[in-house]
């Protein structure tokens, strides 16, 4: 599991900064974005399905291709965890999709899965593969009031742990195409007054997680949590929320800071300025962020343009971008598929569904 990198210099760049600068200098940004797109396209010619491109912290462009397994081994667990949260749906009283919170998890008897939980060509669920890999999910970590708020905000969040090596991951579900609430949350920079998943993550979720973690530390059967590393992951909107959770988490006795955030095809994270500055700066000091994309996906080009104009931070946090070409599609919407990406990363990391 990816544990991040450490640097000592400070850069304070964020998508929030990029959006503000874009509004001030739209013409200059457009010209630079065009140049960035051309440069990005040149790098694309050298990529094959057997390689990944990496934009290292502080760099404007991707480097030379690297073997895909080198990066897939860092991301496959996070991909499965993100897919699990994305597929975590029930039906509300009206029959509309709504998030499920705190349900116990059990592997399907045959390992088969249907509906949203099927991952591309793998014909298996993320939960099944996670359980086989030694992960277990926390049930009922949210109190009833927060669980209701999570449902109302259409926030899907799960907490998973692994004993050896000890790790805990919060995974956030991504944008559902049919969910108006999710699309409005993605446009939060235009609607800052609206209560949405960002509100719940920034104001309530962290305190509840810290309390739940402390309760588990008191359990003799959970002493491995004393040595656990903490991570956050998510897909699309969930990728943006994972990055914000990493900065907004309150301190608590025995609760580690978020060591890394891994965001797949993420929306642009916003609301950094709403997080207490001292808490935010303390978390950013040692945080490592991986932004993971599939070639041709809708947001890949946008991030490449932004990062060419405003290089990603080299430190505090250190932000890397990794681009795969596992199922390249000319249709940018078809490339935005977490289940297929999770399946292919699992296989590219030298696993097979029969393992």
Query: Which two tokens mark 262?
Result: 């891994």
**Residue 255 pLDDT > 50:** yes
Q: Which residue has the higher pLDDT, 335 or 347?
A: 347
Question: Among 178-192, 204-218, 252-266, which stretch is predicted with the lowest mean pLDDT?
Answer: 178-192
Q: Is residue 215 part of a domain?
A: yes
Confidence of residue 129 (pLDDT cuts 50, 70, 90): very high
Alpha helices in the chain (DSSP H): 15-24, 26-44, 68-86, 126-132, 144-152, 180-186, 197-200, 206-217, 237-248, 277-284, 300-309, 338-348
Share of the chain above pLDDT 90, in %: 44
Q: Beta partners for 170?
A: 159, 232
Mean pLDDT computed over every residue of the chain: 77
Output the pLDDT for position 351.
72
Output the pLDDT for position 304.
84
Q: What value does the mean pLDDT take over residues 165-194?
A: 67
**Residue 24 pLDDT > 50:** yes
Look up the CATH number of the domain holding residue 151. 3.40.50
Output the pLDDT for position 29.
52
Q: Is residue 4 part of a domain?
A: no
Count the Cβ atoms, other than its own, within 10 Å of residue 100: 14
Give pTM, 2 decimals: 0.80
Task: State the residue range of the domain holding 128.
Answer: 15-348
Q: Is residue 10 part of a domain?
A: no
Select from 128, 88, 78 the least CA-distant residue to 266.
78
**Residue 353 pLDDT > 60:** no
Q: Is residue 200 part of a domain?
A: yes
Q: How many domains does the chain have?
A: 1
Q: Is residue 8 part of a domain?
A: no
**Residue 1 pLDDT > 60:** yes
**Residue 7 pLDDT > 50:** no
Q: Is residue 234 part of a domain?
A: yes
Cβ neighbours for 352, distance < 8 A, ≥ 6 positions apart = none
Tell me the three state secondary structure of residue 290: strand
Share of the chain above pLDDT 70, in %: 66
């Amino acid at each position: 599991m990816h544990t991040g990198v450490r640097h000592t210099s400070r850069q304070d760049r964020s998508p929030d900064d990029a959006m503000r600068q874009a509004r001030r200098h739209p013409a200059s940004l457009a010209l630079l974005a065009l140049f960035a797109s051309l440069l990005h396209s040149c790098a694309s010619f050298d990529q094959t399905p057997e390689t990944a491109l990496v934009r290292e912290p502080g760099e404007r462009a991707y480097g030379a291709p690297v073997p895909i397994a080198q990066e897939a081994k860092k991301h496959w667990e996070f991909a499965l965890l993100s897919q699990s949260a994305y597929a975590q749906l029930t039906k509300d009283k009206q029959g509309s999709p709504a998030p499920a919170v705190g349900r116990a998890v059990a592997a399907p008897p045959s390992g088969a899965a249907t509906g949203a939980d099927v991952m591309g060509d793998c014909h298996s669920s993320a939960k099944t593969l996670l359980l086989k890999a030694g992960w277990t999910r926390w049930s009922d970590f949210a109190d009833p009031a927060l669980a209701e708020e999570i449902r109302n905000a259409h926030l899907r969040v799960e907490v998973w742990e692994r004993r050896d090596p000890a790790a805990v991951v919060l995974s956030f579900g991504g944008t559902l195409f049919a969910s108006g609430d999710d699309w409005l949350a993605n446009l939060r920079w235009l609607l800052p007054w609206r209560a949405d998943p960002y509100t719940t993550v920034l104001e309530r979720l962290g305190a509840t997680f810290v309390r739940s973690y402390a309760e588990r530390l008191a359990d003799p059967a959970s002493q491995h949590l004393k040595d656990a590393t903490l991570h956050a992951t998510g897909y699309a909107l969930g990728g943006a929320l994972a990055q914000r959770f990493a900065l907004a988490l309150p301190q608590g006795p025995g609760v580690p800071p978020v060591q890394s955030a891994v965001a797949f095809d993420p929306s642009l994270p916003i609301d950094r300025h709403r997080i207490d500055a001292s808490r935010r700066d303390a978390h950013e000091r040692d945080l490592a962020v991986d932004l993971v994309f599939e070639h041709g996906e809708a947001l890949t080009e946008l991030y490449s343009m932004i990062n060419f104009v405003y290089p990603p931070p080299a430190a505090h946090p250190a932000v890397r971008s990794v681009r795969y070409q596992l199922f390249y599609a000319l249709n940018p919407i078809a490339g935005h598929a977490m289940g297929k990406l999770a399946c292919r990363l699992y296989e590219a990391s030298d696993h097979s569904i029969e393992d």
